[in-house]
Amino acid sequence: MTYFQFLATLTANLFTGAAIYINLAEHPARMECGTKLAATVFGPSYKRAAKMQVILALLATGAGAVSWWLGGELMWLIGTLIIFAVVPFTLIAIGPTNKKLLDPGLDPDAESTRILLKNWGKLHAVRSILSLAASIIFLALVV
């Protein structure tokens, strides 16, 4: 069980670090470069981050669930449900914005693109907060 607890804690914290980095450094930096550049680099950045974060979220979810299943406290299940929540949140709440931002026909200079990028940052912050909550729970359980 200790292995799964370690894996859940590690992957949730790696996810959190990446998510917070995106919100505090990467996305604001690209926005400072202007809408056209921000829209241009969004696609490649998003595609790389998505691959990594999907793997981390699913590993944290699986390891957290096993930790609870093998006799861990109820908080393992709660932390697991919170880290897993980033997946449906991304698909349902952020998905439509991602689709618009990744559309090859997107006008990178348009005001509507700037608004989409700004809203994307706010939506992504929810992922950061959810993953941070799960990470804190997992860390509290292993400490």
Angstrom CA distances, 96 to 17, 122, 123, stand at: 24, 14, 11
Tokens of 131: 């993953």
Q: Distances in Å between the alpha carbon of 78 and those of 37, 75, 90?
A: 40, 5, 19
| Cut 0.85: pTM above it | yes
Q: How many CB atoms lie within 10 A of CB 69?
A: 13
Tens digit of each residue's pLDDT, the chain (143 residues): 799 999 999 999 999 999 999 999 999 999 999 999 999 999 999 999 999 999 999 999 999 999 999 999 999 999 999 999 999 999 999 999 999 999 999 999 999 999 999 999 999 999 999 999 999 999 999 99
Q: Where are the alpha helices (DSSP H) in 1-143?
A: 2-21, 27-32, 35-69, 74-89, 95-102, 111-142
Domain boundaries in the chain?
Answer: 2-142
